[in-house]
């Protein structure tokens, strides 16, 4: 199984070994000795780690996080990564995200639409190491392709594809196949895996920009 990034460990909480990062709690998760449990049932990236996907993360990377919502997962990312730009479209969860960022100096919330990267291109630095994408919208491959402009040549895309957000009438297998095909116009897919153990009708993808 691939090594976890620096700053992500398996720690014991009430006798159960779980993924964890060191930081202030956010959503009522168990804590112990300054560590906070990372629930893979509430985090697609956490599920990718739990399932042993090779994300390429080592810790300290600059991250562009698309679909930050209330900050559940991106708070863990900011615990172990470097500067973390958190894009969220909806004002209500962004208010929660701002509160999370108050206790994390490396977390920068942006009330923006991930489908329109030109609206935050003046804020997000070029050559980010990682794009983490978890957006509930149609055209999820298109979002990844539009935001490829920010990714370093040797960077990684960590994408959680939500089948039901893409097309509620199609089978998840058909959706995943179509997303992969579209994505390959700008990315090389390194690994993909169903996240069913933690998230129904989701596919995790690790990719890098095509040369």
pLDDT score, position 61:
98
Residue 211 has pLDDT above 90, yes or no: no
Annotated binding residues for S-adenosyl-L-methionine: 72-73, 88-89, 113-114, 134-137
CB crowding 148-167: b at 16 or more within 10 Å, else e: bebbeeebbbbbbbbbebbe
CATH code of the domain made up of 39-209? 3.40.50.150
CA–CA distance, 173 with 194 (Å, rounded to integer):
10
> Which tens digit of pLDDT belongs to each residue from 159-171?
999 999 999 999 9
Residue 125 has pLDDT above 90, yes or no: no
Angle between helix 91-101 and helix 72-80 axes, rounded to 10 deg: 30
**Torsion-angle region of 46 (φ positive above 0: left; ψ -120 to 50: alpha; else: beta):** alpha
Give the C-alpha distances (Å, rounded to integers) separating 133 from 86, 162, 174, 207.
10, 11, 20, 12
Annotated binding residues: 72-73, 88-89, 113-114, 134-137
> Which tens digit of pLDDT belongs to each residue from 181-202?
999 999 999 999 999 999 999 9
> Which tens digit of pLDDT belongs to each residue from 21-60?
999 999 999 999 999 999 999 999 999 999 999 999 999 9
pLDDT score, position 1:
79
């Amino acid at each position: 199984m691939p090594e976890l990034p620096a700053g992500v460990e398996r720690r014991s909480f009430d006798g159960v070994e779980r993924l964890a990062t060191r930081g202030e709690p956010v959503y009522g998760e168990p804590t112990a000795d300054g560590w906070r449990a990372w629930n893979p049932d509430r985090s697609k990236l956490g599920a990718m780690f739990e399932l042993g996907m090779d994300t390429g993360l080592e810790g300290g990377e600059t991250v562009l996080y698309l679909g930050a919502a209330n900050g559940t997962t991106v708070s863990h990312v900011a615990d172990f990564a470097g500067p973390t730009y958190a894009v969220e479209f909806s004002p209500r969860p962004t208010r929660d995200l701002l509160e999370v960022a108050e206790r994390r100096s490396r977390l920068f919330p942006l009330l923006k639409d991930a489908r329109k990267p030109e609206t935050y291109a003046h804020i997000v630095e070029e050559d980010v190491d990682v794009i983490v994408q978890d957006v509930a919208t149609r055209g999820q491959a298109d979002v990844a392709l539009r935001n490829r402009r920010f990714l370093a040549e040797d960077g990684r895309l960590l994408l959680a594809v939500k089948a039901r957000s893409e097309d509620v009438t199609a089978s998840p297998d058909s959706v995943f196949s179509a997303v992969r095909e579209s994505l390959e116009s700008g990315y090389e897919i390194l690994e993909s895996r169903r996240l069913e153990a933690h998230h129904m009708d989701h596919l995790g993808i690790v990719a890098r920009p095509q040369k």
